[in-house]
Amino acid sequence: MKVISYTQLVIKENGKQIQKGMNFAIQKTYSVVLMSTQKNALYNDHILEDGVIEYEGHDVPVNLNPQKKLVDQSLLTPSGIPTENGKFFQAALDYKHGVKEPSQIQVYRKLRKGIWVDMGFYDLIDAYEKNDQKRKVFKFLLKPKIDLNQDDQEYLDMLHNRQIPGEVQKEVYERDRGKCRICGSSDNLHFDHILPFSKGGSSKVASNIQLLCARHNLKKGAKFI
């Protein structure tokens, strides 16, 4: 799981300047969602125990309702066209009802202005309404996708790193000043468990996570296999 600049994100997404949180079918074979790491973020996204993301749907646009945090989220626009919520919701239902394969969702998590974590691909497996105090919001369940083509180390890193809470990623990035802890490089950074997850190391505390460049991440990984 790499730390990338916004420019790298755009290049990876074939030049698409992704700005909105939810982008259904923005690419031929997949959708893209953006997440925040802030504790008091605009949307209340959660990572559940097994790395599944509970992603919150999006509010009606401000131009339709300035009090958007007080009104129900919507599946349709006023003219009856599916909103992004509506498109993701339908795709989740199609999967649940066995009509379609799960939608592929590429997730990026914002660490700070211009810096993102590439969280990789997820399957959209469920969607439901939830009461959020006084209004109705949508929730989408994104399950980490297992890519059997990845080598074991990369796969394990990905699986474990997906369980690092956003605020921990942010804290580690700031503590290590956006650089590899061993060589100081700021290219190709990855989150690394100091005590490996497989040996009981925690993903939930910044003291067990560090930033390493690809070269040092790989070197370290080899040691533990």
Residues that bind Zn ion (CB under 5 A): 180, 182-183, 185, 213, 216
Q: How far is the CB of 110 from Zn ion (least distance, A)?
A: 24
- Smallest separation (angstroms) from Zn ion to the CB of 223: 15
Smallest distance from the beta carbon of 65 to Zn ion, in angstroms? 48
Q: Toward Zn ion, which CB reaches closer, 137 or 209? A: 209
Output the DSSP codes for the chain: -EEEEHHHHHHHTTT----SSEETT-SSS-EEEEEE--TT-SS--EE-TTS-EEEE--PPPTTT-TTTTTS---SB-TTS-B-HHHHHHHHHHHHHTTSSPPEEEEEEEEEETTEEEEEEEEEEEEEEEEEETTEEEEEEEEEEPP-TTS-HHHHHHHHHHTTS-HHHHHHHHHHTTTS-TTT---SSEEEEESS-GGGT--SS-GGGEEEEEHHHHHHHHHHH-
Residue nearer to Zn ion on the CB measure, 22 or 180: 180
For Zn ion, the closer CB: 183 or 195: 183
Shortest CB 211 distance to Zn ion, Å: 9
Beta carbon nearer to Zn ion, 20 or 219? 219
Query: Minimum Å distance from CB 154 to Zn ion?
Result: 17
Q: Are the C-beta atoms of residues 20 and 34 closer than 8 Å to each other?
A: yes
Q: Which is nearer to Zn ion, 82 or 178 (CB)?
A: 178
